[in-house]
Every structure is written in structure tokens, then in C-alpha cells.
Amino acid sequence: MAKKLFVGSISFNTTDESLRAFFEQVGTVETATIIKDRMTGRSKGFGFVEMSNDDEAAAAVAQLNGKELDGRAIVVNEARPREDK
């Protein structure tokens, strides 16, 4: 089953494709999505990556958390369920 990861501190220049390619270094990526502002279409500086299984997700957190992507040190951890506002 796919495991969803939160990716923070993403550069505004990073694309869905470059995020996917970065995470493919450690395993199979199901989806890679950068969250964008509805009004401007500009990146909000974070996104989500779904890895194909728990082992690859754990490897991604261990190996990529704090690594540099497009000039910024990214934060990678397991995504938490969305909280109601």
C-alpha cells in the first residue's frame, strides 16, 4: 500500500516533475504533487509524495530529509491526516 509523505521548505522553482525525480532516487513514486495557491497558481512551498510501500517511504525520510533540492534544504516526514478547521 502506498505511503504518503509531507515535503516542506520546497523552493518556489521546484516542479511536480523535479520533485518526483528527486524521490525516485530511493524508490518507486506513485504521485508527487506540489500544493499551489488557488488564486495565483504559485507554489505554497510544500507538497506530498506517495511512495509505493512503507519501506521505500522510510528510506525516503531517512535519506532525503534535510537534503538540498533546488537550493533549499527540504523537510521530509510522514504525512498526518488533515485536521478539520
Global confidence as pTM: 0.94
Ranges in the chain, pLDDT < 50: none
* Predicted local distance difference test score (pLDDT) of residue 44: 97
Residue 23, C-beta contacts closer than 8 angstroms, at least 6 positions apart? 29, 32, 49, 51, 60, 64
Architecture of the CATH domain 3-72: 2-Layer Sandwich (3.30)
* Predicted local distance difference test score (pLDDT) of residue 28: 97
Select from 7, 66, 5 the least CA-distant residue to 30. 5
Task: Calculate the average pLDDT of the chain.
Answer: 96
